[in-house]
């Protein structure tokens, strides 16, 4: 069998298989035909049609260009090349957009996690401030008891009764110093570290230490019965001096806690805005413009129908094209 005739049979069989949707088998036959008649424009054209229908747009573009290179006046190949290029560019843009959407979605998730971290840290600080407010109430009562205990008209029995309440308040403050939030000590000598954005930036919260014995910073002196007691006027005066110092220390602690809460609130608001912007950007990439895509769908339907018509027309071209190259 002459080689041209064999190539023509392979081409015809490939076209029939392509019509039946057997693109892999059709492409295999088209490849065998091209081995016999390299560069044949009709074979390359049908190969391009099959590649395009199989979704291999880049391969279809290569096949159409090969056909046009040999037969520049091949109008059908030029039309389908134009269609394939449009599809290929849209596919490339879609891949790029998908990659960007994945990156944005990952950033949204990281930002959401950072926002949760900040919310938990905020709750931690609010718990600190709530307990400090209770300590303040206790100190105010203790200062009142210290003043009353210095009254010369009070008996030792009166002072002993005041001392019982004073001691209970000391124990209450001591217990607060050991409080925990979800297993984490609320009042420690070092501040907690919080991740505050999607890039893992950190913020170290101010330490609020109720257990420090340093007069200028902690409250331990006030619940130490050896340094603060109201058994007599002298000890009551000493206790009052300690309480006044501690009240100032407490004010500093509450100021630190308040500053942390304000900082965390502002950061959380900023992350909320960031998340909205990221979600909007991701939505612009992923969400469909219905009107535009309806138009594109209609256009692609026309292109598919045109391609089918070109495929049918190609059935009458093989013999003449093979004769041209023979």
Q: Which residues of 30-63 are buried (b: 16+ CB within 10 A; e: fewer)?
A: bebbbebbeebbbbbbbbbbbbbbbebbebbbbb
Q: What is the pLDDT of residues 43-102, one digit of tens each?
A: 999 999 998 888 888 888 899 889 888 888 777 888 788 777 777 766 666 566 667 777
Report pLDDT for 85. Answer: 76
Contact 14, 46 (CB under 8 A): yes
Query: Is the pLDDT reported for residue 303 higher than 80?
Result: no
Give CA–CA dist 244/237, Å, rounded: 11
Radius of gyration for the alpha carbons in the chain, expressed in angstroms and rounded: 42
SS3 for 71? coil
SS3 for 191? coil
Residue 91, both tokens = 């596919």
Residue 141, both tokens = 């009562």
Report pLDDT for 233. Answer: 86
Question: Which domains are assigned to the chain?
Answer: 3-73+289-325 (1.25.40.10), 102-286 (1.20.1330.10)
Give CA–CA dist 127/11, Å, rounded: 80
Query: Is the pLDDT reported for residue 215 higher than 60?
Result: no
Contact 145, 230 (CB under 8 A): yes
Contact 49, 60 (CB under 8 A): yes
Give CA–CA dist 185/315, Å, rounded: 82
Residue 288, both tokens = 């469909």
Query: Is the pLDDT reported for residue 325 higher than 60?
Result: no
Mean pLDDT of 308-319: 51
Mean pLDDT of 250-268: 88
Report pLDDT for 226. Answer: 60
Report pLDDT for 137. Answer: 93
Confidence of residue 290 (pLDDT cuts 50, 70, 90): very low
Query: Is the pLDDT reported for residue 196 higher than 90?
Result: no
Confidence of residue 289 (pLDDT cuts 50, 70, 90): very low
Residue predicted with more confidence, 208 or 288? 208
- In this structure, is the dihedral angle defined by the CA atoms of residues 83, 87, 92 and 96, taken in order, positive or negative? positive
Contact 249, 218 (CB under 8 A): yes
Confidence of residue 302 (pLDDT cuts 50, 70, 90): low
Mean pLDDT score of the chain: 80
Alpha helices in 37-179 (DSSP H): 41-53, 57-70, 75-149, 156-177
Query: Is the pLDDT reported for residue 125 higher than 50?
Result: yes
Q: What percent of the chain has pLDDT over 70?
A: 78
Query: Is the pLDDT reported for residue 204 higher than 70?
Result: yes
Q: What is the pLDDT of residues 18-27, one digit of tens each?
A: 888 888 999 9
* Phi, psi values for residue 197, rounded to 5°: -155, 180
Lowest mean pLDDT among 10-14, 34-38, 102-106: 102-106
Confidence of residue 306 (pLDDT cuts 50, 70, 90): low
Query: Is the pLDDT reported for residue 147 higher than 90?
Result: yes
Q: What is the pLDDT of residues 222-239, one digit of tens each?
A: 766 666 778 888 888 888
Q: Which residue pairs from 21-29 have beta carbons closer than 8 angstroms and sit at least 24 positions apart in sequence?
A: 23/50, 23/51, 23/53, 23/54, 24/54, 26/50, 27/51, 27/54
Report pLDDT for 126. Answer: 92
The CA–CA distances, whole Å, from 160 to 103, 212, 227 equal 70, 28, 17
Mean pLDDT of 107-111: 86
Contact 166, 229 (CB under 8 A): yes
């Amino acid at each position: 069998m002459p080689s041209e005739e064999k190539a023509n049979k392979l081409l015809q069989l490939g076209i029939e298989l392509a019509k039946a949707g057997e693109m892999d088998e059709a492409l295999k036959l088209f490849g065998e035909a091209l081995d016999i008649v390299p560069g044949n424009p009709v074979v390359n054209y049908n190969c391009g049609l099959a590649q395009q229908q199989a979704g291999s747009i880049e391969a279809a573009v290569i096949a159409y260009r090969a056909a046009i290179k040999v037969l520049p006046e091949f109008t059908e190949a030029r039309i389908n090349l134009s269609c394939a290029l449009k599809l290929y560019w849209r596919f490339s843009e879609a891949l790029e957009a998908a990659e960007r959407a994945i990156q944005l979605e990952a950033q949204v998730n990281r930002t959401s996690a950072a926002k949760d971290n900040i919310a938990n840290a905020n709750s931690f600080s609010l718990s600190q401030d709530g307990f400090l407010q209770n300590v303040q109430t206790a100190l105010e009562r203790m200062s009142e008891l210290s003043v009353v205990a210095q009254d010369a008209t009070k008996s030792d029995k009166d002072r002993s009764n005041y001392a019982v309440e004073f001691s209970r308040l000391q124990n209450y403050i001591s217990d607060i110093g050991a409080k925990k939030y979800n297993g984490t000590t609320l009042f420690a000598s070092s501040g907690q570290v919080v991740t505050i954005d999607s890039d893992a930036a950190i913020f170290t919260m101010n330490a609020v230490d109720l257990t420090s014995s340093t007069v200028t910073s902690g409250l331990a002196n006030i619940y130490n019965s050896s340094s603060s007691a109201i058994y007599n006027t002298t000890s009551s005066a000493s206790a009052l001096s300690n309480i006044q110092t501690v009240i100032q220390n407490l004010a500093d602690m509450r100021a630190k806690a308040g500053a942390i809460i304000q900082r965390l609130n502002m950061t959380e608001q900023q992350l909320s805005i960031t998340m909205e912007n990221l979600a909007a950007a991701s939505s612009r990439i992923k969400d469909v413009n219905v009107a535009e895509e309806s138009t594109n769908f209609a256009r692609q339907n026309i292109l598919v129908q045109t391609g089918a018509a070109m495929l049918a027309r190609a059935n009458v071209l093989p013999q003449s094209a093979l004769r041209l190259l023979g």
